[in-house]
Structure 1
């Protein structure tokens, strides 16, 4: 999961992705996940608490390596975004 978050450019570094997951800020299909190595699949919905916002992303693809912003954007569908309380 941390690798996908990094490839999708949700975070700037893979270590940041791992820390985000380990600290409980990521849910997979509504269930909190704390293992950075947790396998995700196409169709999974990730709810990610970032700073003061929440992003809801549906996984639609994977990449072998991290690319530019345009190639990262094809990895997911943005389902929602809002402010945290």
Structure 2
């Protein structure tokens, strides 16, 4: 089987929701193979390490095989090995919580209702 394009592979192993998003990420320099920026049309080979910046997280994936088309989430271990450190996932989770707690500039102190909602969120 021919080696697929990088953007198609990123889409088929569910790193991006659409192939257009995968192409845009490659063009923006958010996808590295080894330590070099990769173009969307580059062929991807088994055994290569791909580093992808998706939002607040930098994922490191090792190519195991090439799927024929987009695969289900349960089938992903057949095609990729996730080498992303646990600290990256923790940092992304923390950034999500901080985003929810951020207040607009000039909004003042939290109201009593706001404090109760934060208490429910964090089980205080």
The normalised TM-score by structure 2 is 0.63
In structure 2, distance between residues paired with 1:3 and 1:73: 18
Q: Does 1:12 align with 2:17?
A: yes
Find the counterpart in structure 1 of residue 70 from structure 2. 66
TM-score, structure 1 normalization: 0.89
RCO higher in 1 or 2 (8 Å CA, sep ≥ 6)?
1
Encode CA deviations 1:24-69: one digit per residue, 9 max, x unaligned.
Answer: 0000011111x21101100100010110110000000111111211
The corresponding residue for 1:77 is: 81
Question: Does the 8 Å CA contact 1:2/1:14 hold for their aligned counterparts?
Answer: yes
RMSD, aligned CA: 1.4
Unpaired segments ≥5 residues, structure 1 = none
Q: How many corresponding residue pairs?
A: 83
Question: Counterpart in 2 of 1:23?
Answer: 28
> Which structure dedicates a bigger proportion of its chain to helix?
2
Structure 2 gaps of 5+ residues are 1-5, 93-124
- The 2-side partners of 1:77 and 1:41 are apart by 14
Aligned to 2:118: none
Give the equivalent residue in structure 1 for 2:47: 43
Greater C-alpha Rg: 2
